[in-house]
Amino acid sequence: MVGVPALVALTLLLAGLGGVGLVAIALGRFPGVARCAVYGLSAALCAAMAGIAGVFLLDPASDTQTLELPFGIPTVGAHLRLDPLSAFFLMLIGGIGALCSIYGESYGRHDSEPLRILPFYPVFLAGMGLVTLADDVFVFLLAWELMSLASWLMVLGGKRDGITLQAAYLYLLMAMGGTLALVGAFALMSSESESYVFSTFRAQTFPSLTASAVIVLTVIGAGAKAGFVPLHVWLPRAHPVAPSHVSALMSGVMTKIALYGLIRVGFDLVGLPEGWWGGLLLVVGGVTAVAGLLYAMVQTDLKETLAYSTIKNVGIIAIGLGLALAFRAYGLHVLAGVALIAALFHILNHALFKSLLFLGAGAVVQATGTRNIEQMGGLGRRMPATAAFFFIGSVAISALPPFNGFVSEWLTFQALLGGVALPVWTLRLATPVVAALVALSAALAAMAFVRLYGVVFLGRPRDPAAARARDVGIGMLGPMAILAGACLVLGIVPLGGLVVLRPVMIELLPRSGAALAASDVLTLVPLAASGSAYSGVLLVGVLLVLGLGALGVVRVLAGRACVRRGPAWDCGFPSDDPSAQYSAASFAQPVRRVLGGLVFGIRDVVTMPPPGSMRAAVHKVTLDDRLWKGLYARLGWGVHRLAVEADRARQMTIRHYLMIMFGLTLALLFLVAVTA
Amino acid sequence: MTLFSLALDVAHVGLTVAVAPLLTGWVRWVKARLTLRRGPSPFQPYRDLRRLLRKDIVLADSVSWVFIATPFVLFAIMALAACLVPTFTPSLALAPTSDLITLVALLGLARFMLALAGMDAGTSFGGLGSSREMLIATLAEPAMLMVVFSVALMAHTTALPNVALFVLAHPPVFHISLVLALSALVLVALAENARIPIDNPTTHLELTMVHEAMILEYTGPHLALIEAAAMIKLTLYVALIACLFAPWGMATDLSDARVVALGIGTYLGKLAVAGTALAVFETGIAKMRVFRYPEFLGTALLMGLLAIVFLYVNQVVS
């Protein structure tokens, strides 16, 4: 950038985004104009933000920039800082934000009450951006809450019904609890260093106990927002009820900003990690990765399934971060670099394909008018473009080559294989177990997305609305096409992601320079010594040659054969009834029965009519979310009891109050007498 | 990549693709003999494929591009995988471009496509097969990863040629981890190739079928490609087991024609031995109920984990 430093420009852009929210209110009387203005301006500002952040990140000459503004706590001011880590996340917010804004312009066209979303949308984007630039406690927490509350308002703005209200209420509670934990973490660091500014935290060496407490509180605080099990309960309820482009931003980007908080504190602020921090994240990540998909498998709501799969991916990222912390704690810098790149790459990849899938889901929901996948089917032939993009997203999220999801999970596996170098027994034994969990979660993801794509886009329509569905317009398809293209390009040429991620790695782990250094355009090489490599270009090239070769051979050999269309054979017993197809529930049945017992108390009851009776047999499945019943329902009950007791105290007579005050005075006097 | 190594890779793939139907035919022939039937000639699969390739294609009304693309994708993936698994020589041009994990993921992509194709026609049989196939994959994949892990711990790499060279460079020793990892891989291979006791490759029109249920709607050349892909997959798994645990006989010196011939000869010998063993095993055992798969593949997972634990113990002792 010539003249204006990048940080100043980015701050102005964020302020501009905040201002766009006011534009929405000012144009409230003209909803159509307001919609175009808000989404158009948001898209432009986000694109500019991504551009500036990208230039900053790719320019080797750029240096960390700081800015002090006369706002915030008196005598402290507001501190902003731009470094490669924040630039990477700003790129993510800007890029995905711009695409979601373009999509939102078309998607929101049929919205009857656009003003329930419009003013909060740009503020949400600005809040997320400000989190990454914050360099003191006050600005960080302010931005964090801005992001939480703006997204909460948009969850609330989705529809006027009980489910939405419930989801929004739960979200607000969990967001407040998470922020409380973060306040605790920052308070510990502030009291130790007697400052609110991050730069003093960096210079400070915290005592082991304080640092550990800070990490635990940050894992809780950031984890509540990112969706670590068991703090995930709000996520699959709140993300789906918002409009689809907002769901995409919440699932694809906001969970990543939560992880940014964890990375900022864990790798930058508290100093050298201890070994067990990594272990904590490994365990949390492994459980989160598997549990998220087990939940996803039994959902019949399209967007809810996607939200649960977000939880799985957050788990994979947590595993990568945990490994990086563990390797760093024991001085294995190069392996730490590989693990950190794996986590950051998965952050980038998940942001891309989860946004893509939510945008695709939005198109499907708009075309069919329902979120229930049991009423869909056969949409692949009616919405071919949406289906193609959703297909790419599904393959990518199932961690299959040649798409980007595979690259980051492959790197995670490579880092896990390095776990043998750890000097601690527990961690060394934990890595293969975690690897098995990651493999299980990858296979479950493939199953969940075969189920999702198969039930929604393949087969025959299960509902007249699905049979009438039409593909959406270019305004919605365009952003999806760009995201799908990015998924493919990053899968074939991972170097494209690596050039952005390596500056971040060097910043956070300065001694990890050798990690992935041997990679080039053709191949990805995590560690030069091991000889393991991945080359997307060659794989895809050979695959294309072989596939086309097979096509040619068939063409030549089957020259005279012709292609006919006919009814499905189905072993000679075809049924015209579309409900005879395998449904989403029946597809999930084997896995529900085999693995579902872990998280659900599942009861499958089949009631057969007595012999001779013509009544239908009844198959009833009841699901109990054990976590909800065991933890949250009890917690809610406890709070309720407390409130009842407090209410009783409120209704006491004046005599009782006087007695309490007298007793309290006596007790205080006694305390003074004893201590004096 | 020189012209010679390119030619070698082509020959390598060609050999695996060419012998794959023979291996399947051989297994069927031995099974027939073991059950006192004469059985078709081991070369019957070639004739079957040729017959299918000449037939017309009938597509179900409701199918989309997924159904039509899957046979080609499947065949291409299996042929590509054949480039990546060393058979008669570890010096392959393409092998360094990917490793064992990539290979597992490529096979996962093939399964993903086939499961989708099973659901495309909108029939109940297809969906049933897809659902069960994905369940088996869910159970088999962690076990497979444990095998990858134990191999990587021994050889310090996941690149297949390097593993083969590592095993070749070390004297054959009996190690409990090797036995456990090998057993785990054999169990996974049985499940992945739809063999007894997980699936029965000879049943049709029964509720027990998994792989056959997914491909019910395929006809003509499409079916031929899918059958060929399944045959290559079986050969691949045998080659993989041989490469990881018994690479002896592989030609490391390609300038000597006799060494190369010996490599090809031992490779074919390994295939014949594995085929016979498979036929004997399948003849002696019954198919399992679907909900006993977790026990079968759970055993594989446990053996893989134990292999790793014993490797760690070994490191500490020595």
3-state secondary structure A616-667: CCEEEEECCEHHHHHHHHHHHHHHHHHHHHHHHHHCCCHHHHHHHHHHHHHH
Does a structural domain hold residue A236?
no
Tell whether A175 is covered by a domain.
no
A219 domain-assigned: no
Residues A493 and A599 in one domain: no
Same domain, A455 and A591: no
Instruction: Find, in chain B, the residue whose alpha carbon is nearest to that of A564.
Output: B58
**Cβ separation of A565 and B58 shorter than 8 Å?**
yes
Coil/strand/helix, residue A473: coil
Q: Where are the alpha helices (DSSP H) in A27-161?
A: 31-58, 84-107, 120-133, 137-156
Amino acid of residue A205: T
Angstrom distance (rounded) from CA B157 to CA A525: 12
Question: Tens of pLDDT along B137-151?
Answer: 999 999 999 999 998
Same domain flag for A618 and A632: no
Distances A99 to A94, A123, A360, A564, A674 between C-alpha atoms, Å: 9, 16, 13, 42, 67
- Could B149 and A571 be called an inter-chain contact, meaning their C-beta atoms sit closer than 8 Å? no
Comparing CA positions, the residue from A460, A121, A633 lying closest to residue B63 is A460
Taking an 8 Å cut-off on Cβ atoms, the answer to whether B135 and A569 are in contact is: no
- B156–A568 C-beta distance less than 8 A: no
Model confidence pLDDT, tens digit, residues A507-560: 999 988 888 888 888 888 888 777 788 988 989 999 999 999 999 988 888 776
pLDDT at A393 over 50: yes
pLDDT in tens, A205-247: 999 999 999 999 999 999 999 999 889 999 999 999 999 999 9
Amino acid at site B84: L
CB contact under 8 A, A550 and B102: no
A409 and A360: one domain?
yes
Contacts of A551 in chain B (CB under 8 A): 72
Query: Running DSSP on this structure, what letter comes out for residue B248?
Result: T
Q: What phi and psi values does residue A23 have, to the nearest 5 degrees?
A: -55, -40
- Residue range A136-149: average pLDDT? 95
Q: ∠ at Cα B42 (B41, B46), nearest 5°?
A: 100
Q: Could you tell me the two tokens for B169?
A: 């460079």
Distance from CA of A480 to the nearest CA of B (A): 20
The overall average pLDDT reported for chain A is 91
SS3 call for B169: helix
- How, if at all, do strands B57-60 and A563-566 pair? parallel
Closest-CA residue to A354 (of A247, A477, A491, A259): A247
What 8-state DSSP symbol labels residue A600? B
Give SS3 for A522: coil
Count of structural domains within chain A:
3
- Among the partner residues B76, B123, B144, nearest to A546 by beta-carbon distance: B76
> Which pLDDT score is estimated for B43?
96
Specify if A237 maps to a domain: no
Query: Residue A429 and residue B57: Cβ atoms within 8 Å?
Result: no
Rg (CA), chain A: 27
Choose the mutation target among A542, A553, A595 for the interface with B, i.e. most B CBs under 10 Å: A542
Cis peptide before A464 (omega within 30 of 0): no
Asked if the bond preceding B197 is cis, omega within 30° of 0, the reply is yes
Q: Which of residues 372-411 of A touch B (CB under 8 A)?
A: 377-378, 380-381, 387, 391, 395, 398-401, 406, 410
> Cβ A547–B75 below 8 Å, yes or no?
yes
Q: How many CB atoms lie within 10 A of CB A590?
A: 23
pLDDT > 70 in chain A, percent? 99
Query: Closest Cα of chain B to A551: distance in Å?
Result: 7
Of A458, A522, A582, the CB nearest to B131: A582
Q: Once rounded to an integer, what is the mean pLDDT over residues B80-88? A: 91
Q: Per-residue pLDDT for B208 more than 70? A: no
Query: Would you call A447 and B54 a contact, using CB atoms and an 8 Å cutoff?
Result: no
pLDDT at B207: 59
Averaged pLDDT, A411-416: 94
Q: Angle at which helices B3-34 and B257-284 pack, to 10 degrees?
A: 30
Best CA proximity match to A499, nearest among A484, A481, A469, A519 = A519
Query: For residues B96 and A534, what is the distance between their CA atoms, to the nearest angstrom?
Result: 8
B-chain residues within 8 Å CB-CB of A312? Answer: none
The first and second tokens of residue B207, run together, are: 């509720």
- Find which of B138, B147, B219 to mutate to test the A interface (most A CBs within 10 Å of its CB): B138
Helices and strands (DSSP H and E) totals, chain B: 11, 1
B149–A432: do the CB atoms touch at under 8 Å?
A: yes
pLDDT for the residue numbered A12: 94
pLDDT digits (tens, 9 = 90+) for B91-101: 887 777 788 99
Closest Cα in chain A, distance from residue B206 (Å): 10
Strands B57-60 and A618-622: unpaired
Q: What is the pLDDT of residues A580-589, one digit of tens each?
A: 889 998 899 8
Chain A, nearest residue to B207 by Cα: A571
Residue A601: pLDDT over 90: no
Distance (Å) from the alpha carbon of A465 to chain B's nearest alpha carbon = 17
Q: Where are the beta strands (DSSP E) in chain B?
A: 57-60
Residue A596 has pLDDT above 90, yes or no: no
> Is A457 touching B (CB cutoff 8 A)?
yes
- CB-based contact A581 B127, cutoff 8 Å: yes
Task: Please report, for residues A17, A41, A50, A100, A618, the alpha-carbon distance to residue A45 in angstroms, rounded to integers and kept in the order given.
Answer: 7, 6, 9, 13, 57
Which residues sit opposite A564 in a β-bridge?
B58
Q: Identify whether A510 is preceded by a cis peptide bond (ω within 30 of 0).
A: no
Cβ–Cβ gap B162/A531 under 8 Å: yes
pLDDT at A310: 96
Residues A364, A369, A371, A377: is their CA dihedral positive or negative?
Answer: negative
Q: What is the pLDDT of residue A580?
A: 86
Q: What is the CA radius of gyration of chain B?
A: 20
To probe the interface with B, which of A413, A555, A573 has the most B CB atoms within 10 Å?
A413
Q: What is the pLDDT of residue B95?
A: 74
Each residue's pLDDT tens digit, A655-671: 988 999 999 999 999 99
**Shortest alpha-carbon distance between residue A614 and chain B (Å):** 24
Q: Compute the mean pLDDT over every residue in chain B, rounded to the nearest whole number.
A: 90
CB within 8 Å of A462: residues ≥ 6 apart: A374, A375, A376, A377, A578, A579, A581, A583
Q: What is the pLDDT averaged over residues A319-334?
A: 95
Write down which residue in A465, A494, A515 finishes a domain: A515
Determine, for residues A568 and B309 on separate chains, whether the beta-carbon distance falls below 8 Å: no
Q: How far is B135 from chain A (nearest CA, A)?
A: 6
At A1, the pLDDT band (50, 70, 90 cuts) reads very low
Mean pLDDT to the nearest integer, A581-601: 83
State the smallest CA–CA distance between residue A357 and chain B in angstroms. 17
Q: Tell me which residue of B215, B268, B227 sits closest to B75, measured CA to CA.
A: B227
* Residue of B124, B205, B208 to mutate for A, most A C-beta atoms under 10 A: B124
CB atoms < 10 A from the CB of A572, how many?
6
Q: Is A338 a residue whose pLDDT tops 80?
A: yes
pLDDT at B1: 54
Of B58, B60, B135, the CB nearest to A594: B135
* A472 and A590 assigned to the same domain: no
Instruction: Looking at the structure, tell me whether residues A505 and A646 fall in a common domain.
Output: no
Q: What are phi and psi of A310, to 5 degrees?
A: -60, -40
- Who among B97, B137, B149 is closest to A533 (CB)? B97
Picking from B16, B17, B134 by the largest number of A CB atoms within 10 A of its own CB, the best residue to mutate is: B134
What are the chain A neighbours of B125 within 8 Å (beta carbons)? 570-571
| Helix pair B124-155, B176-192: axis angle to 10 deg | 160
Contact across the interface for B53 and A558, Cβ inside 8 Å: yes
Note whether A594 contacts B: Cβ–Cβ < 8 A: yes
In the structure encoding, which two tokens stand for residue A84, read together? 């490669």
Per DSSP, the residues of B93-146 read SSGGG--HHHHHHHHHHHHHHHHHHHHHT--HHHHHHHHHHHHHHHHHHHHHHH
Q: Enumerate the residues of chain A whose CB falls inside 8 A of the CB of residue B131.
A: 451, 582, 586-590
Crossing angle of helices B220-245/B100-120, nearest 10°? 160
Question: Which residue of B lies nearest to A591 if distances are taken between CA atoms?
Answer: B135
Contact A104, A21 (CB under 8 A): no
Asked whether residue A636 falls in the same domain as residue A616, the answer is no
Contact across the interface for B105 and A400, Cβ inside 8 Å: yes
Whether residue A592 lies inside any domain: the answer is yes
The C-alpha atoms of residue B192 and residue B182 are separated, in whole angstroms, by 15
Structure tokens at A183: 């306040």
> What is the mean predicted confidence (pLDDT) over A266-287?
93
So what's the pLDDT on residue B204? 63
**Nearest-CA distance from A572 to chain B in Å?**
10
Are A292 and A368 in a shared domain? yes
CB-based contact A558 B305, cutoff 8 Å: no
Model confidence band, residue A3 (pLDDT cutoffs 50, 70, 90): low
Query: Is-contact A549 B75, C-beta < 8 A?
Result: no
A447 to chain B, closest Cα gap in Å: 5
Task: Answer whether residue A495 is part of any domain.
Answer: yes
Q: Give the number of domains in chain B.
A: 1
User: Is A524 inside any structural domain?
Assistant: no
Q: Are residues A471 and A609 in the same domain?
A: no
Touching check for A556 and chain B: CB below 8 Å?
A: no
- The nearest alpha carbon in chain B to A407 belongs to B102
Residue A411 lies in a domain: yes
Provide the domain limits for residue A286. Answer: 272-515
Which range (A173-187, B29-43, B194-208) has the least confidence? Answer: B194-208
Interface probe, candidates B59, B73, B104, B116, chain A, greatest A C-beta count within 10 A: B116
B contact test, residue of A398, A400, A488 with most B CBs within 10 A = A400
Q: What is the DSSP string of A414-428?
A: HHHHGGGG-S-HHHH
Q: What percent of chain A has pLDDT over 90?
A: 70
3-state secondary structure B205-222: CCCCCCHHHHCCCCCHHH
Residues A595, A465 share a domain: no
Lowest mean pLDDT among A44-48, A300-304, A574-578: A574-578
Q: Which of A380, A439, A580 sits opposite B141 (nearest CB)?
A: A439
> Containing domain of residue B117, as a range?
3-317
Angle A291-A296-A302 from CA coordinates, rounded to 5°: 160
Q: How far is B280 from chain A (nearest CA, A)?
A: 30
Distance between CA atoms of residues A125 and A122, nearest Å = 5
**A280 and A344 co-located in one domain:** yes
A632 and A617 in one domain?
Answer: no
Report the Cα–Cα distance between both ends of chain A, in Å, rounded. Answer: 66
Q: In chain A, whose CA is at the least distance from the CA of B162?
A: A531
